[in-house]
Amino acid sequence: MDERSVLTDRVALITGGSRGIGRGITLALADAGAAVAVNYRSRSDEADTTVAEIEKAGGRAIAVRADVAVRAEVEAMAERVAAELGPIDVLVNNAGIATIRSVDDITEEDFDQTLAINLKSAFLCTQAVVPGMRKRGWGRIVNISSVAARGGGAVGVHYNASKAGLEGLTRGYAARLAAEGITVNAVAPGLIDTEMATPLKESGVADRLPVGRIGTPDEIGQAVRMIVGNGFLTGQTVAVNGGGSFL
């Protein structure tokens, strides 16, 4: 499989693509030849830095601000990407939050905010790009889930629910879009070395993993690139967790 031949002249939108796992995915897809739209909600300097790095390497990229939990902003973002880069062929729903809360401390606001950003955003972005993918008969959608979708996790029940819902969304869309040339899959990272995971890094989880370390954003990027390059893979969740599934 040659991901570069698949992605050459394709346009990819990565939500939350300016830092952490999103940045790793953005750089991996750009390196494989895709023009990339780097979505961010705040911290525009990080998005601009990511775009500059891609352009320096000879790629095409733009930074586009949008709150992906708001339909109007999602639709405006999709229109801008299409106008500046071309129709969106690849969507990576990566934007998310992981606010640590105990069972006793979690609030209704925590729950609603987490589901809006981690789950509703994937629905809104998918709905925005599917009509164009259908028209062209080709599309790739990858949702970034978590080991917490199928395990206890360390963030909270609100996070578990959002990621389990994301995997259900993945399978539902995959079943309905496969015949139209659109694949929909998920990647479920374990603990990855990002700012979001800082509170969990000192938990000793790395010592319990078979590989003996936590993962890196570029390793998640590699997994997404592999999925995008495989037209026979759909409705699946690929676990990238250093062997944590064996524990």
Query: Which residue from 52, 55, 66 is spatially nearest to 15, judged by alpha carbons?
Result: 66
What are the φ and ψ backbone dihedral angles of 208, each rounded to 5 degrees? -95, -10
- Is residue 159 part of the annotated active site? The answer reads yes
pLDDT of residue 34: 98
pLDDT of residue 207: 77
More confident residue, 6 or 184: 184
214 CB burial (10 A radius; 0-12, 13-18, 19+): buried
Number of domains, the chain: 1
Question: Terminus-to-terminus CA distance in the chain, angstroms?
Answer: 31
Q: Which of 3-7, 47-51, 139-143 has the lowest mean pLDDT?
A: 3-7
3-class secondary-structure state, position 56: helix
Cα 185 from Cα 140, distance rounded (Å): 8
| Among 7, 22, 51, 159, the one annotated catalytic | 159
Q: Average of pLDDT values for 38-65?
A: 97
Q: Average of pLDDT values for 59-73?
A: 98
pLDDT of residue 202: 65
CB 139 within 8 A of CB 177: yes
pLDDT in tens, 80-125: 999 999 999 999 999 999 999 999 999 999 999 999 999 999 999 9
Domain that holds residue 131: 3-246
Residue 243 neighbours by CB under 8 Å, 6+ apart: 209, 210, 211
pLDDT of residue 5: 75
The CATH number of the domain where 221 resides is what? Answer: 3.40.50.720
More confident residue, 200 or 56: 56
Q: Average of pLDDT values for 40-61?
A: 97
Which H or E element spans position 231? none
Q: Average of pLDDT values for 240-246?
A: 84
Residue 244: pLDDT above 90?
no
Given the DSSP bridges, would you call strands 11-14 and 139-144 parallel, antiparallel or unpaired?
unpaired
